[in-house]
Structures are given as structure tokens and as C-alpha cells.
Structure 1
Amino acid sequence: MSYPTTPQGKREILFNAFDMNCVVHQSPGLWRHPEDRARDYNTIGYWTHLAQTLEKGLFDGLFIADVLGPYDVYGSSPEAALRSGAQIPLQDPFLLVSAMAAVTENLGFGITAGTAYEHPYPFARRLSTLDHLTSGRIGWNVVTGYLPSAAQNMGQEDQMEHDRRYDHADEYMDVVYKLLEGSWEDDAVVADKETGLFTDPSKVHRIEHEGEFFKTPGISVVEPSPQRMPVVYQAGASTRGRAFAGKHAEAVFINPPTKELAKKSVERIRQAVAEAGRDPYDVRIFAMQTIVTGEDDAAAQAKYDELTRYVDPEGGLVLMSGWMGIDLSQFDLDQPIGDVKSNAIQSTVETFQKASGREDEAWTVRQLAEWVGVGGFGPVIIGDGGSAAQQLIEWQEETDVDGFNLAYHITPGTFEDIVEYVVPQLQELGRYKTEYTPGTLRHKLFGAGDHLPENHHGAQYQLRRR
């Protein structure tokens, strides 16, 4: 495979919208902005409007994040997360998809679900059901979990050790592959009204899986969906996570705040894919990005300046503490970060200093929190549509990413602005699609059909190629 190109022969930039079924995803405090509708996250109308906006802008997908448990590293309590709304309250992402699929025809949906706390047998059925109901527009973002609170609420003292979680996830994936790829033959469903035969039993097979973590002997209860196995997304950045991505992932989400770090991350991922016996471009890599744009540069800057008035520093530290595993409540907000004794914090701040262009400043804990307040951990582009488009092109050309996971500052305004100002400029430059490719999400992303390619690990379980 290779990367997608536009009719002008130029490399195409792909877009996912990045959201979560909650009020505060990546921008703590901005739910208070008068134009923000994040509080409507628990209504169907919010999600159907968002889906239609994204399809108007020819977005490839809506990537919906999720966690199972509150952010309680900060202050060793969920209280600050509750006060700020930082990813709590939080609802199930799967239940959003049917409504959005009903009002769109092409938009894909990348749904986050963990491997740690649900058996793969019922999960595979839910995954396949959504693939049926969306005509093959589903992707699964595979996560192993990182919040201790989730493990504790599921009756465990803590999560499994990091690499052990990936061992568990590897087997989990195999069970799902076997169920969705290796149980029902393509023509098992006969639906013969004359004979009354609906499914030919000889074409439905037990998977007979018995491994270290799971024992699943029987048949799948769902008939094959358009993609059989939905597109596999993944976001692990560790050495073990990259190995998992090389083996399983078809799309990878990264969030380095600088081009230099993004380039290194992309190189490592493509290397891991090659080491797994696949083409390095058998994965689509999306970098997190936030765009603040308007009719001109001055309007965009004014919009950004206004956004910063609503930032909630405590909410930012809640998220940073959860992401980094370090309780930042023990430090004064105006304490210089150089006085904070943690190598992890130092390295994180250095990346923010580079991303913001303020490398010579002594950052405080408050400034770290405020940086997270507009768009989260990733970089922020500020400028009119032409400027934003050019910066995205530079990011792609300098880092080799395929596209961007676009986080919002306010919603749905961020995405409405991108559709109005940025997409037309990218199209004019020949770097963005002007219409959707027909077919499933996998075919839209790769142009090579609906099913897992033969060199993918999961393809060994496919019945249709035996």
C-alpha cells in the first residue's frame, strides 16, 4: 500500500474529529464559553449535528475517546475532576454511533474500547452489530487502559503491569479475529424462503480458542458484517505499544506537541509495522492538532485570546496528572517548574516550551495547566484558513503523518470553522479530497477493498481465503 493522493497527484491530508462523550475532553474550562455546546453531550441532537457538520467537511472520521474510571491521581481524589468536569461525567461512546450513522452516508467512526474489563465474546458481537448498522463505517480504537481507578472499580487492586496488559490484549485480538473472520463463511446465510433454510450449519464453525487468558470454544452469533473486522485503531507510544501497533493497527493516533517529536514517533511506528512483515504505509498515522481559525489572522488571534480567558488551570492539572501518573496538586500553581523534582515533568515541559516558542522562559505549574487548557496536550495552530492549511501541509511534509486528529477548543464551533475556512484552502492547494470514495471505512482509507489485507496478522483466521 501507499499513502492516498488527490486527483492533482499530491499527498492527501486526512481528517478525524477528536471528541468524547463528556463535557470536558481536552480543553478544561472552555465549556463555559458562550458559544460552546459541550454541555449538550448527552443529547442526540448534539451528536447528529456534529456528524453532519463533519460529513459536510468531508472528514474521514469521528474519533471518540473513552476511559473507564475518573481521573483521581490529582489530589488522590476525583473531587477536582468532578469540580472541573474533566472527562466526568462520561457516557458510553458506542451508543452514539447509530444515530450519527442514520444522518450521514460516508463519515467513519473510530470508537474507543478497552481490552481489560470485558470478555471479547460479547464485545465482538457489539462491534459487528455497529459495522452492520453503519454499512461498514466502524473502526475500533484498541486501548489497554491507564487509570488505576478503572481497575479498582472492576474489583482489582490495580491494573496489570504495562507490558502484561499488551500480552493480554494480543490474545484478546485473536479471539475477536477468530469470531469475526473465522466462524461464519461468506455464504453461510442462505435465506431460502422455499426450503425454509436460513443459515447453512455446515458453514458456521466453532473457533475452539483456548489460551492463557480466554477460553472461547463456540461459534460467533453474528453473521459477517461489511468489513468483518472493523478498522483497527491504536494509540500506544511505548516500545511494547508500538510492537502491538505493528502487528494489529491500521490507523495510529499520536500526540507529540512538536514536529521533531512527531517525526520520530512516525518513524518508529512505520518501523514497527515493517518489522511485523507489513508495508510501512499499511497504517494511517494521525497527529493530534487544535486549530483556532477565522476570516483572517487577526480574527483567529483574537479568538484564541478570548479562549484563554475561560481556561480552568485546575482542570488542566487533573488531566495532566492522569496522563503522566504524577500528582501535580502537591505543587503551588506559581511554582517554577524547575523546582518540581520529576524527570517526567521536566521532559514534558521541555516539549511544551518548544511547541510554544517560549524555550527561554521558566515555566510555572500554572502555565503548564493553561497550555493544556486550549486543545489539550497537542500543538495549536492559530491563523486564517490559508495559514492553517499551509501549517498542516508543513506538518505532513516534515513528519510523514497521514493526517490529523483535530481536537476542539469549543464545540461544534471548532469543526464548523475548519469546514468553513481550512478545508476549502486545502482543496484549492490540491491536498484534500473534494468527494468521498464510495465504500467501507477501510476502503476509504486504503482503496484496497473492505477486508483485512493478506499481510495483516488477523487475516490468518479468514475463512474466505482458505
Structure 2
Amino acid sequence: MGQRIRFNAFQMNAASHQSPGLWTHPRDSAHRYTDPQHWVDLAKLLERGVFDGVFLADVLGVYDVFGGNHEAAVRHGVQVPVNDPLALVPLMAQATEHLGFGVTCALTYEHPYPFARRISTLDHLTGGRVGWNIVTGYLDSAARNLGLSNQLGHDARYDLADEYMDVVYKLWEKSWADDAVRRDKATGTFTDPAKVRPIRHAGTHYQVPGIHLCEPSPQRTPVLYQAGTSPRGVAFAARHAECVFISGPTETVLKRYVDTVRGGLVAQGRPADDVLIYAQALVITAPTEAEARAKHRELLEHIDVEASLALLSGWTGVDFSKYDPDAPIEHVDTEAGRTALASFSQTDPSRKWAVGEAARFIGLGGRGPVIVGSASQVADELERWVDATGIDGFNLTYALAHETMRDVVDHVVPELQRRGRYATSYSDGTLREKLFARGPRLGAGHAATRVRI
């Protein structure tokens, strides 16, 4: 029996996420993303499948690199329209008991003081089931709409992020003592003021002199997710992350990312296995291989190449409308998402991806592998990817909402459980306790425990 395989569901509060043309499929229900019941149904489905959580992506801008404008993204629904992911959490938490919620929030464009309160509130309302996917942003359109001429440079965004993390750690971990809240009706003392301290943060980017507005939540600091695998991103993850999300089209790419992340942890004085690493993947399955293959062929017919190129252009900062579909993708260092381009241009010295080929690849499930077959065949492949790369599990994208996730829950999960490679139930406690089988708080060696006020 090998190691346990974990699943997250990779979703977005939008009509289109990682498969930008598939909203046109007659069985897709993602157009219901504004309907609360759509998200309640998904949460119940994922909890039935014992998923670790739902991982909610987000962008604050529009994909306007392709063609130099937003027209292709708007026309094809490329992650626009898009709604706030945080608003989904109370809906789904109310309908479930154990499911975790990893929420993407770009720290570059939100002050840490109100953000810390928002996350503490969600941690309270969910009983400690909230995680934060820490991103610095990658779209110039977001920066422009928030008053900047363009976004900060790649490494400069991480410099700002390091200070941001110090601020929220001080608010979450240091401002309120564990026993500050008294709720003493006899004396009229709700909170002992001697046990609530202002953080007095005076830094390069932020001035936050006061106290956190929330009493300590079940986890205090949410479970920390991070997705950057550039050298600066790895250094950031090695200091802060508890879970890391990676994506790449081949085992070679994923293994390289895994080794880099775990090496970064060791360099920071953390154990190499101190984080859980989830890789992006799309599973297309059915009761038989023939049915799964037929379903895959049907889905391929709905790939929208222009929509895929709009998405890839936004990820990379490269306007692929200027490239011939047969032109090879070369590594171009941009201030957008460096990992997205590198995952294609550095996959294998013997393979060159053409622009059109890459567009068709990401058009179904994004930059991860597409695994097609019966439940047993899919389970074989998932086991092989885990054993070959050292990942801990998968961030599963969908082709059709909610059909893709339902197929995984109904077919693949029982097969993995039969093999002893997948959980059959949840453990008690907060999200951090469920993931790491330890207490609800950050470990003693985490960077958050070293901040001082």
C-alpha cells in the first residue's frame, strides 16, 4: 500500500475556469455560478467524496494581453465575468461539516489590516476550515484599475509580500492573547484590555499601529497555500507555505518542481516533507474505458483555441495573437506568471511545443495532465504520477460543472479507497488538524511564530 492520495477541487466563481471553451457544452452547468444552490450542491458533492477542500481561484483583472485588449476574453468568457470567491465560503460551509476552503486573495492590492479581519471572520464562521492561497497577482489590468500604471516587478511583488505576511502574522498571532476574551457578565468585562496589544508595525510598505479587530479564531492563521515555483516564489513558499499548488504537463516538470520546493524547505531549516504538494490534473472517467474515451473525444470538440490563447497570453504576459500557430514556444522572461511559460518551454529538451499545440492542450483542464479511462485505469495513473513525482495529491480541474467532479466522486474515489490509497472519512478538527494530524495552530518553527511586536 502506497501513500495516501489527496484531492482538492480547483474551482472559480466564474462561468469558465481552466477549460475556457467548455461552457458551450450542453451538459455544462457553470453558467449557474451566480446561483447559491450551484455552490451548495458542489460542496455537498465534494464532502461526499472526502475531498480535502475546494480551492477557489481568482483574478482581479481581465485577460487583455491577447490582441492588446479584453475583447477575446469577454467574448469567450475567459475567467470573466468573475465574482468574489470569499463570498462563497459561508454558503458552502453552512452545507458541510468537514470540507476545507482554500481562497485565493492577491495581497498586492488589498491592505493587510481589513484583509486580516475578513479571514478571521471566515475562520470563525467555518469553525476553522479556511485556507488562504497567497498570490501577488500577475495581470497588469488589475494594477491599472487599482491606480497603478502597471504591476510591480515579479521579485518586487514578493518583497512586498514578505512584509505583508509579517503584518498579518502580528495581527493574527500576536495581538490577542489566548485568554484575552473573558465574557464575564458579572463584571461587565468582555475582553481583558491588558491582554490585547497593538502591533505597532512600521515598515517600508505598511504602517499598522493598532490592534487586530477580531478575537482569536480557531486556527488564528488560516492554512497557507502558495503556488509560485520561480526562484523567488520557491523562497517565499519555503518560508510561509503549508500547502503548495503546482502545475505542469509532464512528470518531468512536476518532479523538478517538487524537488525544488522540497529543497527550498530544507534551505529554510524546515523538513523536506513539511508541506503538502498538490498538482493540477483533469480526470475524465466513466464506468468503462470505451465510455471514458468517447466522453473525452466529445469534450475535445468544444475546445476554443482563441479562448485558450487569451488565457495563455494572460498567464505569461506574451501576446500570442502575434504568433503563427506552428511557431515554437520559447522561454520568455516576463513580469507575469513565469512558471506558466516555463512549464511548456522547459518540459523536455527533446520536445518543442508549438503555440497552437499548447493552446489545444490547456483548452481542456489547463496546464496539468488529462487522465482518461475507467476508474481502475485512472487510479493506476494517479498512483503512478504520485509515486513518480513525489506529490501528495491533486488539485482537480473540471471540464463540465459539476459532471466532472461527480464522475470522480462516484467512480475514482471508491476505487482508490478499495486500494487503501484514499481516505474513507474525515478526522475531527480544523482544516489544519485534518491535513496535518496536529493541533489547530501553526507549528512552532513556522515564520509566523518568530514575528515580534
Per-residue deviation, 1:327? 0.5
Pick aligned residue for 1:185 from 173, 177, 191: 177
- Aligned-partner SS, 1:42: coil
Alpha-carbon separation, structure 1, partners of 2:122 and 2:104: 13
Alpha-carbon separation, structure 2, partners of 1:341 and 1:298: 37
Contact residue 23 and residue 41 of structure 1 kept, 8 A: yes
Give the letter aligned to residue 237 of structure 2: A
Pick aligned residue for 1:215 from 203, 207, 211: 207
Q: What TM-score, normalized to structure 2?
A: 0.95
**Which of 269-278 and 120-129 deviates more?**
269-278
The equivalent residue for 1:5 is none
Give the letter aligned to residue 279 of structure 1: P
Pick aligned residue for 1:306 from 294, 298, 304: 298
Pick aligned residue for 1:110 from 102, 125, 128: 102
The equivalent residue for 1:206 is 198
Per-residue deviation, 1:353? 8.7
Per-residue deviation, 1:446? 0.5
Pick aligned residue for 2:433 from 439, 443, 454: 443
Q: How does 1:145-160 map to 2 (within 5 A)?
A: 145-160=137-152
Q: Is residue 251 of structure 1 aligned with residue 269 of structure 2?
A: no
- Aligned-partner SS, 1:116: helix
From the superposition, tell whether residues 222 and 284 of structure 1 become closer, same or farther in structure 2 (CA, over 3 Å).
same
Give the letter aligned to residue 379 of structure 2: A
- Aligned-partner SS, 1:131: helix
Alpha-carbon separation, structure 2, partners of 1:176 and 1:243: 19
The equivalent residue for 2:397 is 407
Contact residue 308 and residue 362 of structure 2 kept, 8 A: yes
Contact residue 313 and residue 373 of structure 1 kept, 8 A: yes
Pick aligned residue for 1:231 from 194, 203, 223: 223
Q: What TM-score, normalized to structure 1?
A: 0.93
Q: Is residue 266 of structure 1 aligned with residue 266 of structure 2?
A: no
Alpha-carbon separation, structure 2, partners of 1:297 and 1:22: 31
From the superposition, tell whether residues 43 and 346 of structure 1 become closer, same or farther in structure 2 (CA, over 3 Å).
closer
Give the letter aligned to residue 416 of structure 1: R
Aligned-pair RMSD on alpha carbons? 1.9
Pick aligned residue for 1:84 from 61, 76, 90: 76
Q: How does 1:20-419 map to 2 (within 5 A)?
A: 20-332=12-324, 335-338=325-328, 349=344, 365-419=355-409
Which deviations, in whole Å up to 9, do the C-alpha atoms of 1:155-195 show, x marking residues without a partner?
A: 11111111111010000001000001000111111101111
Pick aligned residue for 2:444 from 427, 447, 454: 454
Alpha-carbon separation, structure 1, partners of 2:258 and 2:331: 27
Per-residue deviation, 1:43? 1.2
Structure 1: tracts of 5 or more residues without a match:
1-8
Corresponding residue pairs, total: 447
Contact residue 258 and residue 351 of structure 1 kept, 8 A: no
Alpha-carbon separation, structure 2, partners of 1:301 and 1:380: 12
The share of aligned pairs that are identical, in percent, is 51
Alpha-carbon separation, structure 1, partners of 2:341 and 2:393: 29
Per-residue deviation, 1:331? 2.8
Contact residue 330 and residue 345 of structure 2 kept, 8 A: no
Alpha-carbon separation, structure 2, partners of 1:238 and 1:341: 17
Alpha-carbon separation, structure 1, partners of 2:344 and 2:257: 18
Structure 2: tracts of 5 or more residues without a match:
334-339
Alpha-carbon separation, structure 2, partners of 1:330 and 1:235: 29
Contact residue 337 and residue 346 of structure 1 kept, 8 A: no
